[in-house]
Amino acid sequence: MKSLISNLKFAWQYAKHQKQYLISYILISIVRVVTGIVHPIVSANLIVAVTDNQFVQVIYVAISILFVETVSTIANYATNYNAVNLYQKTLAVLQVDLGKNILTLQNKTLDDNGSGVFIQRLTSDTSNLADIFEGLTSYLTSIVGSFGILVAMYIISPIVFLYTLCVIIILCVLENKRTKKRKEQEKVVRGKREKGTGLIGEMVRGARDIKMLNSENDFLFELQSKITEEKDSFFAMMKTSRKYRFLIGHSHDLFSFFFILILVVLLQANKLIFATAIVLYNYYNGQLSYFHYRVGSFLEMLKNFELSCERIRDILDESKFPKEHFGTRHLNKVEGNFEFQNVIFSYDKKPVLKNLSFHVNANETVAFVGKSGEGKSTIFQLLCKMYDVQKGKILIDGIDIQELDRESIRGNITIISQEPYIFHMSIKDNLRLVKANMTKKEMKEVCKLACLDDFIETLPDKYDTIIGEGGVTLSGGQKQRLAIARALLQKTEIILFDEATSALDNETQLKIQEAINNMKNEYTILIIAHRLSTIIGADRILYLEDGKIEAEGTHKELMKNCEKYRQLYEAELLSKK
């Protein structure tokens, strides 16, 4: 019970802003309860009046029934209106807040959990939470209405009332056992569903690669196995539920049979019960016949709610899903100087950076080269605080980034990767993601600097052209240049190019290089280069090996003083011949 109360309090913080809908829903539900109790009484009077040939009384009773049913219809309409508003508005607040929390998770947390974990909790589980107050009110009013019927039955005959009450208690105990067992199995089903959802998401995002690898059958086999696991666990849950339902249903049939026998005995005893009362009892018994099902559904809703609450609160729990942490110090303007001081970092206990130290000045263009796996991309990830250093310090303008707030770091650094993610929206809207109040002039200026404006002007809808998910309708170079335009629009002081030209043809590479040259001396630019020909003009080149700076200098200096760099460059020249 404590857990339920705690979870209800947690859900209330999202629903309390819609309390006017909840209050209205509760008040109107009370009206529905009253009409539900009154309607059978009035209907019984109609039967009595017809039986006694009191036709004037029949008309009065018919008018009363019309009034009760009209009130009930209006109440149903108002209930639905308030329920929809309460659910949808609570769901919106909850999903936005959970989405916000997911975006604050550490990258390692995201790496260790598949996307299905977050998709299911952001969609299915939030729905269960948003529905709880409307569901509680609906079921409780229905149950309260049933108690009202029990009171009416007691007034007519305490014997029948006691029998009915005993039957309800027995059936509700069985329903409670069923829902407890279902909760345990539901937890397993949701875990399997998360894995399946994650794999489906990967299939959609990676469909083109799957086709190119001719691995459709292998992927579908893996997908089928995940779906089969979920299906089997779901069938196991439903099998258990069906067994309980059969037992409960059969018990209900037996109790209904004995109920009729009791009525017959009481009727034969003359004064213990009247024919009118039997009509009412028959109606009320029909109303109560599925009371235990409503109680079972109510308990099932509570169990689902508690399970969903646990899964959502897990994401908010720092100990289970660790979050990113930033300092409180804010820099209004970053100059662009930064320094690594004896930085040590490992991925899953595998050392990547070993006492790495270097300094970059503001507005300097610095390139990082070296073999794959030497930690070049890791430097960028640490600088953006996507991961935290294990030892050492990273300074921006002389301040440890552990002291800086999110905006001071992320708001002043942009990474342009080899495969920048482009969203399924127009070019204009992709740019607006980094600056909502972007002007048309700014938009065209950044696209011109990124050498993208000529291409955009050839499109039928120009800047309003919708590009596919992940920028599928754009070439690699066009995606790169759009990412550069976004970076320029963001106006960060530090721009990082993570092998941004490695997969491009020579002509496109030249355009990207031109775009980078347009930014030189105005921004601090760091480049991870696969093609050494693209970084010849860098102010400095740092050669990494074994997680440390092996050598540094200009291209000419390294060609003269660093044999390994020279070998890399000469190997590239030979590959072009």
Provide the CA 551 distance to its chain's centre, in angstroms: 46
- Residues with Cβ within 8 Å of residue 521, at least 6 apart in sequence: 363, 365
- What is the pLDDT, as a whole number, of residue 292? 66
So what's the pLDDT on residue 485?
82
Q: What is the pLDDT of residue 275?
A: 56
Question: Cα dist. 80→24, 74, 76, 77, 469 in Å?
Answer: 11, 10, 6, 5, 37
Task: Enumerate the H helices of 384-505 as residue ranges.
Answer: 406-410, 427-432, 440-449, 453-457, 476-490
Q: Is the pLDDT of residue 276 over 60?
A: no
Strand locations in 49-156 (E)? none
Report d(CA 80, CA 571) in Å as an integer.
72
| CB count in 10 Å sphere of residue 77 | 10
Q: What is the pTM of this model?
A: 0.63
362 Rama class: left (phi>0) / alpha (psi -120 to 50) / beta: beta
pLDDT, tens only, 297-326: 777 778 778 888 888 888 888 788 888 888
Pick the residue with more confidence: 316 or 212? Answer: 316
Share of the chain above pLDDT 70, in %: 79
Cα–Cα distance for residue pair 313/309, rounded to 1 Å: 6
Letter for the amino acid at 269? Answer: A
C-alpha separations of 270 from 164, 263, 264, 274 in Å? 21, 11, 10, 7
Q: What is the crossing angle of helices 216-268 and 291-316, to 10°?
A: 140
Q: What is the pLDDT confidence band of residue 80, given thresholds at 50, 70 and 90? A: confident
pLDDT for the residue numbered 510 = 67
The pLDDT tens digits for 508-541 are 666 666 666 666 667 788 888 777 777 777 888 8
Q: Decide if pLDDT at 184 tops 60.
A: yes
Q: Are strands 399-400 and 494-498 parallel, antiparallel or unpaired?
A: unpaired
Q: What is the mean pLDDT of the chain?
A: 77
Highest mean pLDDT among 42-56, 99-113, 212-226: 99-113
Residue 291 exposure: Cα atoms within 13 Å on the Cβ side: 26
Structure tokens at 542: 């740092």
State pLDDT tens for residues 358-376: 888 888 888 888 877 778 8
Report residue 412 as tokens: 């002043």
| pLDDT for res 518 | 63
pLDDT at 270: 59
- Looking at residue 366, the DSSP 8-state letter turns out to be E
User: Residues 68, 39: contact at Cβ < 8 Å?
Assistant: yes
**Whole-number Å distance between alpha carbons of 157 and 162:** 9
Lowest-confidence pick of 53-57, 319-323, 324-328, 471-475: 471-475
Cβ-based neighbours of 12, under 8 Å, separated by 6 or more: 133
State residue 281's pLDDT score.
64
Instruction: State the pLDDT at residue 472.
Output: 61
Between residues 181 and 52, the one the model is more confident about: 181
pLDDT band for 468, please (50, 70, 90 cuts).
low
What letters, b where the CB count within 10 A reaches 16 and e where it falls short, cover 538-560? Answer: bebbbbbeebbbebbbebeebbe
Set out the domains of the chain in order of their start, with CATH numbers.
2-185+248-316 (1.20.1560.10), 338-576 (3.40.50.300)
Asked whether 433 and 383 are in contact (CB, 8 A), the reply is: no
Which residue did the predictor score with more confidence, 46 or 446?
Answer: 446
How far is it, in rounded angstroms, from Cα 83 to Cα 112?
A: 38
pLDDT higher than threshold 70 for residue 572: no
pLDDT at 352: 84
- CB proximity list for 419: less than 8 A, separation 6 or greater: 476, 479
Confirm if 383 and 413 have CB atoms less than 8 A apart: yes
- List 346's β-bridge partners, or say none: 351
- Tens of pLDDT, residue by residue over 427-461, are 888 888 777 788 888 888 888 877 788 888 888 88
**pLDDT above 60: residue 493:** yes
Q: What is the mean pLDDT of residues 482-492?
A: 78
Q: What is the pLDDT of residue 495?
A: 82
Confidence of residue 282 (pLDDT cuts 50, 70, 90): low
